[in-house]
């Protein structure tokens, strides 16, 4: 399932967390090399690993470090509604996208033009 890296506006989908049918049966599929990057993982660990690998590699290999920007500290963001916490920026196909951890722990990538920093109370 692509839900850990797919957003309706953008796909950063070289790495996909796959459910192997058990609590510790998740793996991370590398679509560019047609191989596995991790197995025997929990769902949460597999989704995190897939999202972290997206920051390191694009479809062609090692990602240019200038195309990834760490947001420190991470900030809550909205995209028409509260969506989660932004911790990285990634340049994909010429546009910046934010890596956002949703409250349920899933990670999505959302274009910069759709994100707004949430004002803290």
Digit-coded pLDDT (tens) for 11-52:
567 898 988 888 889 999 998 888 898 889 999 999 999 999
pLDDT tens digits, 84-97: 999 999 998 888 99
Cβ contacts of residue 57 below 8 Å, gap of 6+?
14, 15, 32, 63
Structure tokens at 27: 């793996």
By the 8 A CB rule, do 1 and 19 touch?
A: yes
């Amino acid at each position: 399932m692509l839900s850990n890296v797919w957003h309706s506006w953008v796909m950063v989908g070289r790495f996909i967390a796959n459910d192997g049918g058990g609590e510790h049966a998740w793996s991370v599929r590398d679509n560019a090399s047609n191989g596995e990057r991790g197995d025997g993982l929990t769902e949460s660990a597999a989704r995190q690993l897939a999202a972290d690998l997206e920051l390191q590699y694009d479809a062609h290999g090692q990602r240019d470090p200038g195309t990834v920007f760490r947001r420190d500290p991470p900030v809550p963001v909205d995209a028409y509604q509260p969506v989660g916490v932004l911790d990285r920026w990634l340049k994909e196909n010429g546009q910046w996208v934010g890596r956002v951890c949703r409250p349920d722990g899933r990670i999505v990538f959302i274009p910069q033009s759709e994100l707004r920093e949430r004002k803290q109370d």
